[in-house]
Amino acid sequence: MPFRFALVLGVGVIMGFGLSVGRTVQAQREIDPPAVVNDESDNDGDKAVPWQDARLLAEVLEHVRKEYVEKISDQELIEAAIRGMISDLDPHSAFLDPQEFDEIRISTTGEYSGVGIEVQLENGVVKVVNPIEGTPAQKAGVLAGDTILAVDGVPVSVENLNDTIDRMRGKAGTAVKISIARVDVKDPLEFTLSRAAVQVHSVRDQMLDGGVGYVRISHFSETTTSDLERSLASLKKKNGAPLNGLVLDLRNNPGGVLEAAVGVSDVFLEDGVIVTANGRAADARFEMDARPGDALDGAPMVVLVNGSSASASEIVAGALQDHHRATLVGHQTYGKGSVQTVLPLSDGHAIKLTTSKYFTPSGASIHEKGIKPDVLVNEKDVPKPKEGVDVTESYGGKDDVELQLAVSTLQQKTSGAIRQSRAP
């Protein structure tokens, strides 16, 4: 079987243009051929394209090639035709050039070679969101809030941020020079960094009051499940005892690796279906189930979601809600219930093609519907973020109104469980 990616993700525009997180977060799926969900057969794939339709395409290409106001190369014409054909299928299918395909592989594996800086466009400048711990940038003293001015002497272009990102990436061991402006420092700072392998972690955690843990998952990559398990172990150690409860924050999480969504769900479920999918191809029809073992030993959970919680996030939220393992707090989720498969082509190109629709354990399709939380947050109670500021920066902080509601909901469940345990 040829190597290929399968994805459950990618919606909207990601606000943080990251060196660590690609523009789209995809999924890699390598599973055995699944059980057949239905017996529908379709042999259209075995038929050749009708010659009349092929001739029509050739006619159009030839007219554009000869008569369009500007000269366009044959390669550009063919790529444009393919891009239009794929993108017209649905909002999530796409034709990928080699650079876009490389972004998918980076975001899927959670690893790339570069300097280790997460950046975002803010008020017309490229700001450092965070230098990743243990990376060349962090060791050299690059700080959050720094402004990147140039890379290897080439000024940063806000119109072409990808060029800046590409310049900072490169083969491990090679050098790159970065010019940075820092508040309260008069002259630009120059850093010459040696590129290295950078591991991108999608999970962060903190202890809240009352023995409650907080875990935020920003996206789903191949390392997310293991990152989550490490975070839970760390929280238990900080608490000095098993956690009394957990808030799992999936707000603004656009999705990612299918196996990661299944793995995260499985961390908290003892058994049962996590997700099923149905498509035309045999490997587009599958069911994934939980294995015994709950990392929280049944302690109550709240999952925070909003309108930008999509795809893989909705798989987790749907599985935990359907199995009554967690209470969902927040806003209606995005509603992306489809799976994309990335098929490599020649010359480094690829197509991202919708191949399945997935369903929650109850058999519900959330596509274009989303998941309704058990506890809805009133929009009026949530302060609007300042212009140009990434809203996710406030998540987990003292001013996080939605987190306060989640903790309050969790405390009610915890006290209820205590009362039951003391009942005769």
Q: Which residues are catalytic?
A: 311, 322, 336
Distance separating alpha carbons of residues 206 and 97, to the nearest angstrom: 39
* Tokens, residue 4: 């290929």
SS (H, E, C) 325-378: CCEEEECCCCCCCEEEEEEECHHHCEEEEEEEEEECCCCCCCCCCCCCCCEECC
Distance separating alpha carbons of residues 221 and 200, to the nearest angstrom: 9
**208 SS3 class:** coil
**Cβ contact 207:11 at 8 Å:** no
**407 SS3 class:** helix
Distance separating alpha carbons of residues 360 and 367, to the nearest angstrom: 11
60-64, long-range: CB < 8 A, 24+ apart: none
* Tokens, residue 342: 């990335």
Using left for φ > 0, alpha for ψ between -120 and 50, and beta otherwise, residue 60 falls in alpha
Residues 6+ apart with CB under 8 A from 193: 115, 136, 137, 140, 175, 176, 177, 178
Residues 6+ apart with CB under 8 A from 59: none
* Tokens, residue 292: 């015994």
Count other Cβ atoms within 10 Å, centred on residue 197.
Answer: 12
φ, ψ dihedrals at 203, nearest 5°: -125, 135
